[in-house]
Structure 1
Amino acid sequence: MAADRQKNTSQRVGEFVAPLSLATDLGEISPRRLALLMAIAEHGSISAAARHVGMTYKAAWDAVDAMNNLAGTVLVDVQHGGRGGGGARLSAEGSQVIRDLSRLQSLQSEFMARLKAEGDLGKSLAMMRRLSMKSSARNVLAGTVQSVHEGGVSTEVNLRLPGGDTLHAIVTRESAQELTLEPGREVQAIIKASWIILALASDNIRTSARNRLCGSVTRIVAGEVNAEVVLALAGGNTLAVIITRPSLDELALSEGTKVCALIKASHVILGVSS
């Protein structure tokens, strides 16, 4: 079957799409796998290429098989066995993919250099990237990491939201390292509306929730069982909160009511742009 796929060396494999993944008819080849493809071209060995990109030997083999299957033609010719972990070389199609990728990377670098020369367009691009993010969570807030405190198992990440609000998040140590969370890093804080507890701003209650974001009610959508309450925070952000209908009636909420959103630090999910 591999030999049959190799016969047509001029077939169209797919189209590159930002951020330089390869979209084929059968699925997408990720940037990480494309990096492996480039490393194979450079080193001529699966094991050496895997070390170069930081993959395990098995993961590299699985990635090669997946790329060949997704492309519908052999991109990498592999040979099992031997102390070196097997040799590998790119097919004509695989070499063409690398040439196209290198050219696109060069064009991308030129484009980003022009953006920098034009002024502060990078912030606008970052904003558009955040706006295009899809999530089932109702609340996605942009923020900047202020400090990171690493523990044995968990890591506390403190964020500054636009307008000055502070948000605390607790993530696993592995997640913090994988996301490269450090001061100055831009992140998205994702908070499900049902995870937020509402309290009247006049209530001086003490809770274990690390985050207390206060503002005023701007909109209420009441249902028979639950109600959605939208808050405008002092810093300019908005939060949507789902509470029960009895809670809405008990708190006597209406537009303009001063309230505080109580959010556990462990209920804040962090995301970064790849």
Structure 2
Amino acid sequence: MKQDIVREKVIKDKKIYIVENHHEVILPWSEYASNNEIVPVLLTFDHHMDTRTAFYRHSCAINECEWKTISKKLLSTVDIDNLSDITSSLDKLRNNEHIDFSLKTDMISHAVIFSLLGVGICKDYSNDKIYYVDPFCTSTCMKESHDEECLLNTYNTVIESDELIFKLKQINKFIPGFFTDNSITKKFILDIDLDCFHTKKAINPTNISILNYLINNAEIITIATEGSYVELEKKEDDINEFYLLDKLLSHIENALK
């Protein structure tokens, strides 16, 4: 593991990896994949979807007309058991290409994306192993047409237990039996981009029991601080990546007590 890129914390045997740029999570993901036979599902919380094709921008810079061929060739040479391959890939990836990369190299089996762009609950149009659980409003909203208040409510409840239960149940539409009797039946990685927290209320939920469950049952936890995107997406001036990271790590520590 490259310590200049990845900061590792271990709390009660739970490994937490912190990176600045989201695509850098391929370092701990590949390490996990190399040491485990069962390929995990990815559960990722993010403002964005981060599902652009691996090496897209790098390939376009070489030859825009042949980018698909170049991307496929680059992927075909990656050995996830070889750290130098992963490190080399980092130089060619951007921070919204890591999910496609990880699926195509078998680091993860499926990706469930809890984004905040209002894309709905659906499969990705180009990759049937990517699922978006991104409802237009909270599960209790009865409005026929959603408004700014709805949007703020969605932001504020990103890790509230009632909303998480609703979202986890939606995964069964794509992975049958994934969430049964309030339990996840598959191994999973918990991944959190701090830009999914737009307000203080978002990072300080009223009920945190389901997040605690996710923390305790995740194989590993990865966190992308993405400071510039936190600044871009936040709705309150008095939050930043440092405040959010401190709060999230506090939640993790309390969950693992």
- TM above 0.5, yes or no, is no
Q: Which has the larger radius of gyration?
A: 1
TM-score range, shorter chain: under 0.3
Query: Which structure carries more relative contact order (alpha carbon 8 Å, separation 6+)?
Result: 2
Whichever structure has more helix as a proportion of its residues is: 2
TM norm structure 2: 0.23
